[in-house]
Amino acid sequence: MFISQVFKYQHDFWRYIIGVVTVVAGIIVGQIPLVIALFAEKGYEVLSMTDSEMMTALDSNYFLFLMLLTYAVALLFLLFIVKKLHEQPLRALTTSREKIDWSRFWFAFGLVSIFILITTIGDYFTNPGDYVLNFELKPFLILLVIAVIFVPLQTSFEEYFFRAYLMQGIGALSRNRWLPLIITSVIFGGLHFFNPEVTKLGNIIMIHYIGTGFLLGIMTLMDEGIELALGFHAANNLLTALIVTADWTAFQTNSIFKDVSEPSVGWDVLIPVVIIYPVFLYIMGRKYKWSNWKERLMGKVHKPQLLNVSEEN
């Protein structure tokens, strides 16, 4: 089982506290190049700039690279602490299977990619006035290279930190599955509170972010691994960066199109969480024959009996 297998390794909760502090340190270290670049461009004016102003202070591709570099560095810090402090292999942080199942990653990646392409094309032809062509070959090719390399590192960091590291650590401490699901989903969504989308659309958009956290957490617990969550998250962020940008989003890129409509929130915030996300779970559940949903999402985490016997000896 994905959470209970952590008992095979160094799982004392104080190690997870050190791990979280180390990851935060990694994020800070990873931000240093971005801070240096902003100061070089704007000087001390940076101290009074809003997040949106910082995003436009540098060339968009340069800013995107430096922003994503933060997560790449944080991922290295996380993997280092898992290996050295917890003595846990990457495979056990990723899945309960004997080896990482990359076919699951690509299935989720393809499923989300198809959905995004269909809905974006449909919206473009339904509301053509909401879009302008933003495509420029050279900036787009640079964006493509940066996005293909660094967006999966960004999404992998978030999945390995929330759906793997914290999920296993909190699960080992609480000895149940529902508490790590709730905590990691709320924290994941809550950290998006500082995104420019929240400033533009209001706090109601947090339903979407927290709901996405629950979706990815449910995938992880039902499938006993984060391969599906890795693929889902990577496809969502990668295609978002490449296809459509807007002045009020966290990813302001040299994408193919630019959304110039005035954003508003309503049912479009609830529909993904209430309708589309359950459809994704249904499709994955049918394909991978998920069963016993209540136990997998709400049940207890049991320490493997083999470890108990060895400890008694």
pLDDT tens per residue across span 186-234: 999 999 887 878 877 888 889 999 999 999 999 999 999 999 999 999 9
Both ends of the chain: CA-CA distance in Å? 24
283 has a pLDDT exceeding 50 = yes
Q: Which of the four pLDDT bands, split at 50, 70 and 90, describes residue 306?
A: low
Cα-based torsion angle of the residue sequence 101, 104, 110, 112 in order, rounded to the nearest 10 degrees = -130
**Contact 241/151 with Cβ under 8 angstroms?**
yes
Q: Which two tokens stand for residue 246?
A: 């807007």
What CA–CA distance (Å, rounded) separates 284 from 100? 17
What CA–CA distance (Å, rounded) separates 299 from 198? 34
Per-residue confidence (pLDDT) for residue 275, from 0 to 100: 94
Per-residue confidence (pLDDT) for residue 312, from 0 to 100: 37
Q: Taking the model in full, what pTM does it have?
A: 0.93
Name the helix (H) or strand (E) containing 311. Answer: helix 305-312
Q: How many CB atoms lie within 10 A of CB 265?
A: 16
What CA–CA distance (Å, rounded) separates 87 from 9? 6
Per-residue confidence (pLDDT) for residue 232, from 0 to 100: 98
